[in-house]
Amino acid sequence: MTNVPDDSSIQLAERVSATASLCEVVTATPLCTSIYELVLSGNATTLAGVPGNDVMIRLVDAQGRFVRRRYSVRSLDEANDQFTLWITVDHEGPGSTWVKSATKGELVDVIGPRGKVLLDPLADWHLFVGDASGLAAFYRMAQSIEVPAKAIFIVEIDAADDALSAPFDEGLGVTGIFVDRQGRSTSDPEGLLRGLAAFELPPDLGHAYLFGEFHVMRVLESALLDRGLRQEQVSHKAFWRSGRSNADHGEPVKTEA
């Protein structure tokens, strides 16, 4: 790989008002059954953006084609010019395959920051709901909440060790509910719906952030609207879609076909 990003990355970054850069792998470490932690260095502050943002990585798929995959930024270390991603590996895909063999010093073509779902600064409480693919964004966003406030996490996991924790400001009221998938289909919203039903939404102004599987996110949004939240109080983003690979640009296919 050369010492500059691919021309296609530079052109794409210009179109989406982002930055293309080559980053260096610092570490790639398994955290649990479903997640690897990838630390990258280079232009970190610019690429990582603000809590809720993600980056786009250029990879090679099983057919030898260049594709892009998007991953939420877990944390930013400005002093060391590094940022961290949590990449799920509970499936077969170009990102999960690559990160398991990524080596220190390897160069990675990255575009960032990307993403439009950001923390609501006016909310008194913040509800984060989804699967393990959303944990990086959930925790980075929650760690940026101004106290006093509340952060509630309802996350579906496939293995007990996927229930990763994070440190928070002691002035933040934190509630965490991890739901065991128990072998249900990844497009089955039952587990997260049960988690929501078991929790009484706080009073005052709140905001819900839904990150995870395409169909599940749609059902959860409807359930929260039925619980009395207004449309502007619910932000959702499908990270992936059960049974279908994400498109070459890294997003799940949105059509129902």
Alpha-carbon span 142 to 209, nearest angstrom: 11
Clarify whether residues 109 and 131 are in a common domain. no
Clarify whether residues 88 and 168 are in a common domain. no
Clarify whether residues 93 and 160 are in a common domain. no
Query: What residues pair up with 215 in beta bridges, in sequence order?
Result: none
Residue 96, domain member (yes or no):
yes
137, with CB counted inside 10 A (0-12, 13-18, 19+), is buried
Among 66, 82, 113, the domain boundary falls at 113
- Tens of pLDDT, residue by residue over 107-155, are 999 999 999 999 999 999 999 999 999 999 999 999 999 999 999 999 9
Among 69, 85, 113, the domain boundary falls at 113
Clarify whether residues 172 and 213 are in a common domain. yes
Alpha-carbon span 176 to 157, nearest angstrom: 13
Residue 93, domain member (yes or no):
yes
Clarify whether residues 107 and 135 are in a common domain. no
Query: Residue 252: which pLDDT band, with cuts at 50, 70 and 90?
Result: confident
Clarify whether residues 50 and 71 are in a common domain. yes
What's the structural domain count of the chain? 2
- CATH code where residue 208 lies: 3.40.50.80
Q: What CA–CA distances, in Å, run from 239 to 105, 118, 204? A: 28, 15, 29
- Tens of pLDDT, residue by residue over 14-62, are 999 999 999 999 999 999 999 999 999 999 999 999 999 999 999 999 8
Domain that holds residue 57: 7-113
- Tens of pLDDT, residue by residue over 56-88, are 999 999 899 999 999 999 999 999 999 999 999
> Is 112 in contact with 49 (CB distance < 8 Å)?
yes
* The pairing of beta strand 82-88 with beta strand 66-77: antiparallel
Clarify whether residues 50 and 100 are in a common domain. yes
Residue 248, domain member (yes or no):
no
The one-letter amino acid at 85: L
Clarify whether residues 225 and 132 are in a common domain. yes
- CATH code where residue 98 lies: 2.40.30.10
Alpha-carbon span 196 to 199, nearest angstrom: 5
The closest alpha carbon to 154, from 124, 118, 112, 198, belongs to 198
Tokens 């993600």 belong to 54
Token output for 250: 């890294």
What predicted TM-score, i.e. pTM, was given to this entire model?
Answer: 0.94
- Tens of pLDDT, residue by residue over 196-237, are 998 899 989 999 999 999 999 999 999 999 999 999 999 999
Query: Residue 257: which pLDDT band, with cuts at 50, 70 and 90?
Result: very low
Return the C-alpha torsion angle 8, 11, 17, 18, nearest 10: 40
Residue 189, domain member (yes or no):
yes
Query: Residue 92: which pLDDT band, with cuts at 50, 70 and 90?
Result: confident
